[in-house]
Chain A
Amino acid sequence: MSLPDPAVLITAIADELKAHLQAHNIDNPRFVGIHTGGVWVANALLKELKSEEPLGILNVSFYRDDFSRSGLHPQVRPSQLPFDISDQHLVLIDDVLMSGRTIRAALNELFDYGRPASVTLVCLLDLNARELPIRPDIVGATLSLDAMQRVKLVGPEPLAIQLKTLDHL
């Protein structure tokens, strides 16, 4: 399978996001990336948009529903939102959307910080494997993988997408 180039996807996402925000009359969106890959994508996207906006960072590990299976991963840095999110229009950014559980956790965490006016979801890749009714507003590319295949974003400079095959589920 040929894998897309993240740089190309981000250029397309930037154009689509501008149009989306304009269509919804959103002037000053706040950007939030999900640790780690989502933060990389968000930074690349802000660069593409020539924006100096501060980036909020979410570490959703305290909100996950599967932590008992995968354990806590405290090594990641804590969440940091350098702005008040109440009544703000948020752009939530992640690298890969698979089951939708990470986004569910991220939304729960966001609402513990305040009540945003809206949340627009941007994902670099959608793996078409949703287990929850969560879909991105803007997506770079959609991939359909075999059950044993996974993609991983490596970065942050340059960003690249890797495909790997699991030995067992």
Chain B
Amino acid sequence: MTPLAPKCPLQLNDQGRLRHFLSLDGLPREMLTEILDTADSFLEVGARAVKKVPLMRGMTVCNVFFENSTRTRTTFELAAKRLSADVITLNVSTSSTSKGETLTDTLRTLEAMAADMFVVRHADSGAAHFIAEHVSPNVAIINGGDGRHSHPTQGMLDMLTIRRHKGDFTKLKVAIVGDILHSRVARSNMLALKTLGCPDIRVIAPKTLLPVGLEQYGVNVYTDITEGLKDVDVIIMLRLQRERMQGGLLPSEGEFYRLYGLSEQRLALAHPEAIIMHPGPINRGVEIDSLVADCPRSMILNQVTYGIAIRMAVLSMTMSGQNEQRQLDAEKQESI
């Protein structure tokens, strides 16, 4: 394994293997490739009559969702079940926290249920990282999306979609279109594409929906979609995140569609075999035309299937990393 990543050592064990999965920041290319390879193997499990392997038998995975989600929550649940783990899902958004309980108190309560792994989604950036720092050792934390910061399993499932349908990242032009400012998916995708060696990552958005500091991701920024889509192999559309907007950023949804929506005419600017992706849920007629969303080159439903395999890979790899760390700690204890 490559040396410890400097930026996020918290998510790696002493051998440099995953023990939490918080962010793609700082993870080396070999690690991302290992996740994709593992997910490829799990895709085959999903095609069997019995779609289950006994890797996590007897373990408990707890999905803690402080923020609403359908596809991330259900695919995590299905992934854990296909690994034979026991799964509980808690929608905390409507319960204790609204009664004033702090994040750590909620967490202690959940720990008392002896879960081996938490999948956490939270509206605050850095929440999963915070929990990983404070959780008792040997409990793995998986980030299911934190604020505007990161959505690493979505990033990886997008990479799996691209690798399976377009192959070698080092030959691709990839455009990410829409609400970059509020999108943790965009951040995770930019990081993953950069790490995997994609030479032309384009970000297309109105100035008001572009965050500052995009240069660090090594992307080319376009405000004109007709220019940005030219010859791209992959188009990743983002959902307009109305719930995170506090006025003033956009004149109207109709205006947004007129300027940045993916219509058939705009799609024609891309490579003739370009694929279309979207993390869902889609706003038809806001960021994407219905005909485009449903066309054969649309990967939107494939992404959901690949999401299960990616989540199985991440769950089993972090569990494996935690087990390894436990043994290393035990050996250390013995030698003292």
In the assembled complex, the CB of B56 is this many whole angstroms from the nearest CB of chain A, namely 10
> Do the beta carbons of A74 and B37 come within 8 Å of each other?
yes
Q: 8 Å CB contacts to A: which residues of B46-68? A: 48-50, 52-55
Select which of A74, A112, A113, A114 is within 8 A of B41 by beta carbon: A74
Q: Which residues does chain B contribute within 8 Å of A62, judged by CB atoms?
A: 41, 45, 53-55, 316
Q: Complex formed: what's the CA distance from A123 to B122 in Å?
A: 52
Asked whether A108 is an interface residue with its Cβ less than 8 Å from the other chain, the reply is yes
Select which of B17, B41, B52 is within 8 A of A71 by beta carbon: B17
A interface residues with partner B (beta carbon < 8 Å): 59, 62-63, 67-69, 71-72, 74-80, 108-109, 112-114
Asked whether B40 is an interface residue with its Cβ less than 8 Å from the other chain, the reply is yes
B interface residues with partner A (beta carbon < 8 Å): 17, 34, 37-38, 40-41, 43-45, 48-50, 52-55, 313, 316-317, 319-320, 323-324, 327
> Do the beta carbons of A113 and B323 come within 8 Å of each other?
no
> Do the beta carbons of B44 and A113 come within 8 Å of each other?
no
> Do the beta carbons of B317 and A72 come within 8 Å of each other?
yes
Select which of A71, A74, A108, A113 is within 8 A of B48 by beta carbon: A113
In the assembled complex, the CB of B140 is this many whole angstroms from the nearest CB of chain A, namely 13
Q: Complex formed: what's the CA distance from A165 to B101 in Å?
A: 58
> Do the beta carbons of B324 and A108 come within 8 Å of each other?
no
> Do the beta carbons of A71 and B324 come within 8 Å of each other?
yes
Q: Complex formed: what's the CA distance from A109 to B323 in Å?
A: 23
> Do the beta carbons of A67 and B37 come within 8 Å of each other?
no
Q: Complex formed: what's the CA distance from A62 to B52 in Å?
A: 10
Q: Which residues does chain A contribute within 8 Å of B324, judged by CB atoms?
A: 68, 71
In the assembled complex, the CB of B249 is this many whole angstroms from the nearest CB of chain A, namely 42
In the assembled complex, the CB of B173 is this many whole angstroms from the nearest CB of chain A, namely 29
A79-B44, A108-B54, A112-B48 known; 4 other A-B pairs, CB under 8 Å?
A: A63-B53, A67-B320, A68-B327, A74-B34
B43 nearest CB neighbor, chain A only: A78
> Do the beta carbons of A78 and B50 come within 8 Å of each other?
no
Q: Which residues does chain A contribute within 8 Å of B50, judged by CB atoms?
A: 112-113
> Do the beta carbons of A69 and B41 come within 8 Å of each other?
no
What are the nearest 6 A-B pairs in CB distance?
A: A68-B323, A74-B38, A78-B44, A62-B53, A112-B50, A78-B41
Which of A59, A68, A77, A109 is packed against the most chain B CB atoms within 10 Å?
Answer: A68
> Do the beta carbons of B313 and A74 come within 8 Å of each other?
yes
> Do the beta carbons of B54 and A63 come within 8 Å of each other?
yes
In the assembled complex, the CB of B47 is this many whole angstroms from the nearest CB of chain A, namely 10
In the assembled complex, the CB of A104 is this many whole angstroms from the nearest CB of chain B, namely 11
* 15 contacts across the A-B interface (CB closer than 8 A): A62-B41, A62-B45, A62-B53, A68-B320, A68-B324, A69-B323, A71-B17, A71-B320, A75-B37, A78-B40, A78-B41, A79-B44, A112-B53, A113-B48, A113-B49
